Structure 1
Amino acid sequence: MRGSVHSFDVSTGVDGPGTRFVAFLAGCPLRCLYCHSPDTWYRRSGTPTTAGELMAEIRRYERFIKVAGGGVTISGGEPLQQPAFVRDVLRRCKEIGLHTAVDTSGYLGDRAGDDLLDATDLVLLDIKSGDPSTYRTVTRTGRLAPTIAFAHRLAERGKPIWVRFVLVPGLTDAVENVDAVAGIAASVPTVQRVEVLPFHRLGAVKYDALGLGFPLAGTPAPDQDLIDRVRRQFRGYGLCVF
């Protein structure tokens, strides 16, 4: 089974618990205004890679990852564009005792078979917005309903979820939108935490390299008062917030 792998990295405290090997797959159906990796939008941007070849890279870090209490995270792009490849890699990771996570918008959640979810220990679920209209504005192509359905399917299977929400001034920061995201998260019993991720413009250089205009080039990062207000909103729903 071959997949399209854009790149991989080893990080700590960013893409799940502990130190993790993170594989970034190529291809995504969404075009989020704040996306910092436009170079992962198309599968042709990645390198054709077999599950065995990716596992060979993972095995190089296996001992270090285990000692550091980490694991493997499949990210993107959107990993659920390549469900069979993701399933095979996660299964192989489980066979050698590595914790597994998938970072996804949930928009293609219906492509994730039960066998893929069985091999997944944690889902990092990116909820772009809680208001359907705002969600469409943010993603330019997507609908909110598939993400909500996927979240509840995960809960039915007892899968832990970490919700991620990107806070963008003037785009996702409306009180009503934040409340809607918090309401969705609070309705899913296996949500363990919510991560409020402040918007940044660090990916702008990639847009320049691709000859694309960065849609939010003039948008500032949220100030601390806004971040604190949004975190309070989530905590008001009884959620653990970071």
Structure 2
Amino acid sequence: MEGHIHSTESFGTVDGPGIRFVIFFQGCPMRCQYCHNPDTWTIDNSNTENLRSVESLLKEYDGIKEFLHDGGITATGGEPLVQMEFLTELFETAKKKGIHTCLDTSGILFRQERREEFDRLMAVTDLVMLDIKHIDDTEHQKLTKQSNKHILEFAEYLNEKGVPVWIRHVVVPTITLNDTYLKQLGHFIGGLDNLKALDVLPYHTMGEVKYENLGIDYPLKGIPAATKEQAIHAKQVIFEGIKERIREDIHKK
């Protein structure tokens, strides 16, 4: 089987535990205003140059695996779930080789009626890095042109399955840098027993040049990059929401 792959990165250090082989999948239904990979949005079926087989990707991994200390493979994008059948075969083959597998996803394509497909994928997924763009559905639609309903359902599904999760959240001044929303996010993820880590990422403008090169208007032009201090503050507020949720759940028992 072959999949449309945008690119690979040999020594990823921010895409899961350890040093990782990162595979960027082509295709994504979201249109996040701060996306720094707009060139991964669409799949051109007439373009066969970016087609890769499972075997070729794992052969590339094998060539560098001795340097990937405590790492493995991370599927990111784009949105890997767009090519779910190929992704599942990749992870199934990787697990047979004893490779740690990590899925970096928004969860946007989760549907209850597709649980059987997701069960098969999660059986060979060691870690999910779930990117929650915005906790408020109306604001999420403004930011991504998609509802967050299925994303939050996916988070609850992962909790039910006991799949380890790292939550990722990008802090964007004037959009997600809002104490009310941040606390609501914390309250939601505080109910996830499978939560293993929280990454609060400051928004940066490094993707702006890609938009210019592709002839696309950059949606956040003029919005400054988030500072380290803003990201630290955001994480503190999210933790307040987490603690509040944990206290509530304890009192309910």
TM over 0.5: yes
* TM-score for both structures, normalised by structure 1: 0.93
What letter matches 1:137 in structure 2?
A: K
Question: Using the alignment, how far apart are the partners of 1:222 and 1:21 within structure 2?
Answer: 28
Do the aligned residues in 1 keep the contact of 2:202 with 2:228 (CA within 8 Å)? no
Alignment deviations for residues 41-86 of structure 1 (CA, whole Å, 9 cap, x no partner): 0112771122122222122122222xx1001000010000001100
Superposition map of 1:142-221 within 5 A: 142-221=146-225
How far did residue 12 of structure 1 move? Answer: 4.1
Mean Cα deviation higher: 113-122 or 6-15: 6-15
Q: Which residue of 1 aligns with 2:247?
A: none
How far did residue 235 of structure 1 move? Answer: 2.0
Mean Cα deviation higher: 8-17 or 224-233: 224-233
Mean Cα deviation higher: 110-119 or 95-104: 110-119
Alpha carbon RMSD of aligned pairs, Å? 1.6
Question: Using the alignment, how far apart are the partners of 1:105 and 1:18 within structure 2?
Answer: 21
* Segments ≥4 residues shifted beyond 6 Å: none
Mean Cα deviation higher: 100-109 or 175-184: 175-184
Do the aligned residues in 2 keep the contact of 1:26 with 1:41 (CA within 8 Å)? yes
Q: Which residue of 2 aligns with 1:78?
A: 79
Q: Which residue of 2 aligns with 1:48?
A: 51
Q: Aligned pairs, how many?
A: 236
Question: Using the alignment, how far apart are the partners of 1:99 and 1:128 within structure 2?
Answer: 26
Question: Using the alignment, how far apart are the partners of 1:164 and 1:10 within structure 2?
Answer: 22
Alignment deviations for residues 27-49 of structure 1 (CA, whole Å, 9 cap, x no partner): 00000000000000011277112
1:19 matches 2:19: yes
* TM-score for both structures, normalised by structure 2: 0.89
Q: Which secondary structure state, in structure 1, belongs to the residue aligned with residue 102 of structure 2? A: strand
Q: Which secondary structure state, in structure 1, belongs to the residue aligned with residue 64 of structure 2? A: helix
Do the aligned residues in 1 keep the contact of 2:12 with 2:21 (CA within 8 Å)? no
Q: Which residue of 1 aligns with 2:93?
A: 92
For structure 1, the residue ranges without an aligned partner over 5 or more in a row are: none
Q: Which secondary structure state, in structure 2, belongs to the residue aligned with residue 36 of structure 1? A: coil
Q: Which residue of 2 aligns with 1:138?
A: 143
Question: Using the alignment, how far apart are the partners of 2:55 and 2:137 within structure 1?
Answer: 40
Q: Which structure has the greater CA radius of gyration?
A: 2
How far did residue 94 of structure 1 move? Answer: 0.8
